[in-house]
Amino acid sequence: MNDTYQSSNNPGQKNPGDCKYPERDNATQHTINSERKKICNDLYISAGKTSMYEKRFQGENTVYELKKCLFTKTEANYQRYRNLDMCVGAELTQTNESVKSNVAAYIKLNKDLGEKLKGIAASIKNVKAKFAELHDASCKLESCLTDSCNSSQRKAITGNAPGCTGEPPEICKDSETIFHELICRPKGLLKDIDSIFKASYDVVGIQKFSNIDSLETMQGKLSENAKGFGDQISSVMKSRKTDLDNLQGEMVKSVQEITKAAITRNFERSNFEGYKDAAGFVCCPPCECVVIPSASDSGGDMKKLCEQLGKPMLETCEKDICKICEVVQQAFCCPEKTPEPQSKPGC
């Protein structure tokens, strides 16, 4: 504390250059010294409190900044998971549902295709049997056609037969060609139906071993993994939301505490300034109202001493208070509509 505001233990002692008017050894000065000691003690206590609340405000401000940083990072983390859930999670879930529906449709189509291919293969098998019968019939026809016992019938039909002479009878047009087609064509058809039969069962095998049914298992695993991924995102997002709500509550409390600390600090600052000004006033009074003239001041002239003692001492204080009234009156008025200062009664 500044020595200017420390009281003197010896009446009449003063710090050189500090006070305009020296202390007097009289009852008034003793009363002032007693009150000054109280004010100085209050000033000392107020200085400690002000320093304490300054530190408290700094600490609360540090805590607030740390909580704000943690809140900001937690909020960013929550938003990251929320955006992931809205975009990737929702897209993955919908994709999985669509894939599941499509896979079911593919499996049904594949099953229907397999049944159709099996039906076609069975039909071809039956046709192959018929073609075999046709081939057997062509062989029998060829045997009959080359049998010498049937030469006359052949000549009658075709007009030509081995070992037969004479004019040919009336014949069917292109009968010879038709006989050769009936004999030779089934041989080629039998080879073709054999190729078709092999190809049909190859197609059935290819369709069977394409293993589209395995897509259902793969889709099931995809669905399981997608659900696990979505559950993980939801769990983390829920946890971050809880953390965010808790941190928000702590942020509110921190704001309340830092505001309370700031208000208390300013209150203590105001008290300190008041005690400081009061201590400065009582330690070094700026006016003559506290100075009581003595005989030594008048050089032993009783008349002069009487004149000094007869002067009013508090007139200057009254004027100073009136000035304070004017300042306070102007402080609570709008700047653009400041009324003219008015003197109060007695000022």
Cβ atoms of residues 203 and 124 within 8 Å: no
Q: Is residue 303 part of a domain?
A: no
Whether residue 299 is contained in a domain is answered as no
Q: Is residue 208 part of a domain?
A: yes
Query: Which of 285, 290, 280 lies closest to 43, judged by CA?
Result: 280
Q: Residue 47: left if φ>0, alpha if ψ -120 to 50, beta else—which one?
A: alpha
Which DSSP letter does residue 301 get?
-
Where residue 162 falls (left for φ over 0; alpha for ψ -120 to 50; beta otherwise) is beta
Burial of 201 (0-12, 13-18, 19+ CB in 10 A): middle
Residues 263 and 204 in one domain: yes
Q: Are 81 and 243 in contact (CB under 8 A)?
A: no
Whether residues 98 and 162 share a domain: the answer is yes
Q: Count of alpha carbons within 13 Å of 345, Cβ hemisphere only?
A: 0
242 with 334, same domain: the answer is no
Q: Is the pTM of this model over 0.85?
A: no
In 3D space, the residue among 319, 321, 322, 341 whose CA is nearest the CA of residue 331 turns out to be: 341
Cα distance between residue 301 and residue 303, in whole Å = 5
The reply to whether 231 falls in a domain is yes
Residue 117 shares a structural domain with residue 28: yes
**Is 53 part of any domain?**
yes
The CATH number given to whatever domain includes residue 194 is 1.10.287
pLDDT of residue 21: 63
The verdict on residue 7 lying in a domain is no
Residues 207 and 319 occupy one common structural domain: no
Domain that holds residue 339: 314-347
How confident is the prediction along the chain (347 residues), in pLDDT tens digits per residue?
Answer: 333 333 333 333 344 345 666 666 667 677 777 887 888 888 888 888 889 989 989 998 999 999 999 999 988 988 888 888 888 777 787 888 888 888 888 888 888 888 888 888 888 888 888 888 888 888 877 777 666 665 666 666 665 656 555 555 555 666 767 777 777 787 888 888 888 888 888 888 887 777 777 777 888 888 888 888 888 888 888 888 888 899 889 889 989 998 999 998 899 888 888 888 888 877 777 666 666 666 666 666 677 767 766 677 777 777 777 877 777 777 666 555 555 555 544 43
Q: What is the pLDDT of residue 5?
A: 37
Same domain, 172 and 268: yes
CA 264, CA 50: separation in Å to the nearest integer? 9
Domain membership flag for residue 182: yes
Q: How far apart are CA 133 and CA 292, in angstroms?
A: 156
Number of domains in the chain: 2
- 28 and 172 fall within a common domain: yes
Nearest alpha-carbon partner for 157 in 137, 136, 140, 173? 173
77 and 187 fall within a common domain = yes
Residue 2 lies in a domain: no
Say whether both 191 and 249 belong to one domain.
yes
Where helices occur in the chain by DSSP H, the ranges are: 27-84, 90-146, 151-158, 175-209, 214-283, 302-310, 315-331
Q: Does one domain contain both 28 and 65?
A: yes
In terms of domains, do 181 and 273 share one? yes
> Do 347 and 266 share a domain, yes or no?
no
Tokens for 249, please give them. Answer: 């509550």
- Report the distance separating Cα 147 and Cα 212, nearest Å: 58
Cα separation, 275 vs 286, in Å, equals: 16
Please tell me the predicted confidence (pLDDT) of residue 346. 44
